[in-house]
Amino acid sequence: MIKAVFPHKDLLGIRNLGRDEIVMILDTAESFKEVSRRPIKKVPSLRGQTVINLFYEPSTRTRTSFEIAAKRLSADAVNISASTSSVVKGETLADTVRNLQAMAPDIVVMRHACAGAAEYVAGIIAAGVVNAGDGAHEHPTQALLDLLTMRQHCGRLEGLRLAIIGDIAHSRVARSNLWACRTLGIHARVCGPPSMMPRDLADFGEVEVCSRPEDAIATADVIMMLRLQLERQGTGLFPSLEEYARRYGLNRERLARAPADAVVMHPGPMNRGVEIAGDVADGRRAVILDQVENGVAVRMAILYLLGGSRS
């Protein structure tokens, strides 16, 4: 593979990536998909490099796929959960990452509940930092795998019509995708309870707000359902799960209002029967497991582009 030059030490968000940089990551990921289909799923690209996965919040897809991605690139991967680390003894984030830096990692992949945590860490350690989700701010590798999945199923990104439905305000997935829409010329429509609409929506460019999901999906190429953050239940954002499912959930009847070739995405983890009905999640129009497969390729691409610049 001819090495593309990625001019960043870190990947902290989609907001500051240019169109060509996003396309470079997607093209690199595309070329890595084949590695995961080989009998021996390994290339030597990052041999001798060390990737630390530092997760202060739970994760299944992101953490596992970063570990698999690192191993498929022949890097040494180390996983740290805050709950089983000295964080529980009161160690600060700065002390934790400075101690990890002393062990000479090449890349630190980090998830944290605070917006801006990855950027803060990137400013104090020499290793490249990948934001694996920071509060309600950004989840760049999720948006990149979403884009790869959209491009795979729709054949293009520019001019695509994307409907994002759910808790937009608290979703780092939505925010990273909306930045990508602005940069790549994807038409975004959002829909959700008024209490879950961000106040800064205008910053994302021309985003159309629909009050009914039927209107959001009527001309959509891609329907992205967001996880209802059940941990927020009881905070007055919506009356009940049943009410939410009835007004905003994607069930078979509602999906029938979308174009016949529209695909359904969900970043996971899903609340079946709340934001998405089980038969829709498992149905032929759902590309949710393609998103997960693409997650490994996208994370290989990111580690390769960041790690490659350090070798």
Alpha-carbon span 138 to 131, nearest angstrom = 8
Residue 142 touches ligand CP, criterion: CB under 6 A: yes
Residue of 62, 96, 141, 183 marked catalytic:
62
Q: Which of 18, 269, 278, 283 lies at the binding interface for ligand CP (CB under 6 A)?
A: 269
Q: Over the range 40-61, which residues count as b (16 or more CB within 10 Å of their CB) and which as e?
A: eeebebbeebbbbbbbbbebeb
Cis before 269 (ω within 30): yes
Alpha-carbon span 148 to 243, nearest angstrom = 33
Residue 89 catalytic? yes
Task: Kindly indicate which of the ranges 12-20, 112-120, 184-192, 267-275 contains the residues binding ligand CP, using the contact rule CB under 6 A.
Answer: 267-275
Cβ partners under 8 Å of residue 258, min gap 6:
217, 218, 220, 223
Render 157-216 in DSSP notation, one character per residue. STT-EEEEES--TT-HHHHHHHHHHHHHT-EEEEE--GGGS-TTGGGGSSEEEESSHHHH
Please identify, using beta-carbon distances, which residue of 213 and 267 lies nearer to ligand CP.
267
Shortest Å, Cβ 98 to ligand CP: 26
Residue showing the smallest CB distance to ligand CP in the complex: 62
Residue of 139, 151, 161, 170 marked catalytic:
139
Please identify, using beta-carbon distances, which residue of 121 and 144 lies nearer to ligand CP.
144
Task: Kindly indicate which of the ranges 72-80, 89-97, 232-240, 264-272 contains the residues binding ligand CP, using the contact rule CB under 6 A.
Answer: 264-272
The residues in 110-139 that bind ligand CP, with binding defined as CB under 6 A, are: 133
The residues in 199-258 that bind ligand CP, with binding defined as CB under 6 A, are: none
Alpha-carbon span 4 to 44, nearest angstrom = 17
Overall size of the chain counted in residues: 311
Whose tokens are 């060509």? That residue is 20
Please identify, using beta-carbon distances, which residue of 59 and 152 lies nearer to ligand CP.
59
Residue 176 touches ligand CP, criterion: CB under 6 A: no
Task: Kindly indicate which of the ranges 15-23, 38-46, 78-86, 261-269 contains the residues binding ligand CP, using the contact rule CB under 6 A.
Answer: 261-269
Residue 61 catalytic? yes
Residue 267 touches ligand CP, criterion: CB under 6 A: yes
Distances (CA, A) of 225 to 137, 191, 286: 18, 10, 11
Please identify, using beta-carbon distances, which residue of 124 and 230 lies nearer to ligand CP.
230
Q: Tell me which residues are annotated as active site.
A: 61-62, 89, 111, 139
The contact set with ligand CP (CB under 6 A) reads 59-62, 133, 142, 267-269
